[in-house]
Amino acid sequence: MPRLVKKTAHGPHQVGDKFICMCGLSKNQPFCDSSHLKTLKENEDKLYWYDEEGKPEEVATEEDCEDECCGKCSGDCCQEDKKTK
């Protein structure tokens, strides 16, 4: 089952002579492979989903959903809208 793991760091954490991935994108987990460089232009107020190729896509959040589903969210906020209608 897929999970969303929120990582907010834009760089690794050094432990001794090793660098531990803190962005969650490294293909060499738990070690850094410099994938965090992809995150440097992210907007701090937005949520991003990275595909298998490491390409980012901005994801809608609950605040983005208004009267109708925008089609970008996980569906949780839209499910709440449907319950109240």
Query: pTM of the full predicted structure?
Result: 0.62
Name the residue ranges covered by the structural domains of the chain: 7-41, 44-85
Instruction: List the beta strands (DSSP E) in 1-85.
Output: 13-15, 18-20, 47-50, 56-59
Report the sign of the C-alpha dihedral through residues 14, 20, 22, 23, in that order: positive
For residue 78, pLDDT beyond 70:
no
Per-residue confidence (pLDDT) for residue 35, from 0 to 100? 93
Predicted confidence (pLDDT) per residue in 17-62, tens digit: 999 999 999 999 999 999 999 999 888 888 888 888 888 888 876 6
| Helix, strand, coil in percent for the chain, rounding step 5 | 20, 20, 60
Mean pLDDT (whole number) for 4-24: 91
Per-residue confidence (pLDDT) for residue 85, from 0 to 100? 42
Q: Distance (Å, rounded) from C-alpha 49 to C-alpha 52?
A: 10
